[in-house]
Amino acid sequence: MQSKKMWVASLVLPSLLFLSGGLCANDGKTKRPFRQYTIEQFIATTTVAGASFSPDEKQILVSSNQSGIFNVHVVPVGGSQLVPITKSTTDSTYAVSYFPADSRVLYTRDQGGDENNHLYVLGTDGQERDLTPGEKLKARFAGWARDDKALFVLTNERDPRFFDLYRMDASSYERRLLYKDDAGYELGSISNDEKWIAFGKSKTTSDSDIYLYSIATGEMRHVTPTRMRQITTSPILTQSRAGSTT
């Protein structure tokens, strides 16, 4: 037993001497300088997100929390201080897009953190208008029409489980239902001629499908009927110069 203890000690002692020597050697090296920050400095960090050019391409629309809560700001393309155009102190407000033909601004926010985001427009007169009024509904921007005369909006006001697709006139804000969803499809894209809508739908984590909907006839066509690996990007419709949709 005594010899065993001596054998263990003979292994441990050199190791300790090696480590202590290494530590002493490191103490003699010049330490890399580092900067310390206060908790106040960490809290004061500012986030800027999203970007949309104004029609004249002189300003950029962004979201920033420099006031302590997210609001919509504009900044000249040449660089300068952010100028807030919304000044909420309670509800985070996020930039969506400039209108294509004028300085109106589209943005989104919920009410008191309920996650029921609505779409709002800030007019050239500085007045705000809720484009998707109502209680307990969510609305999402789905893009601009090719002619820039309308925007597409998704809203679940009819049924909280599904999002219906509307075309909203960019001048009058009147809307027209394009598709009523009762199956849980995910919007992919709308063709430039506004005749077709591409949707995606996942069956499992490894099986997804694409569907093509005719706005004129209301027919939904399953264009990927065979079992496929999961599609990781949304279906996109493109239009050739001749006008055919692919």
Residues 129-141: tens digit of each pLDDT = 999 999 999 999 9
Q: What is the dihedral of CA 181, 183, 185, 190, to 10 degrees?
A: -40
Residue 35 lies in a domain: no
Distance CA 210, CA 188 (A): 9
Residue 168 lies in a domain: no
Q: Where in the sequence is the domain holding 233, given as residue range(s)?
A: 183-246
Radius of gyration of the chain (CA): 29
Residue 101 lies in a domain: no
Residue 211 lies in a domain: yes
Residue 63 lies in a domain: no
- pLDDT < 50 stretches in the chain: 1-25, 228-229, 231-233, 239-244, 246
- The confidence score (pLDDT) of residue 172 equals 97
Residue 197 lies in a domain: yes
Number of folded domains that form the chain: 1
Environment class of residue 8 by beta-carbon count within 10 Å: exposed (0-12), middle (13-18) or buried (19+)?
exposed
- The confidence score (pLDDT) of residue 167 equals 98
Residue 219 lies in a domain: yes
Residue 200 lies in a domain: yes
- The confidence score (pLDDT) of residue 227 equals 57
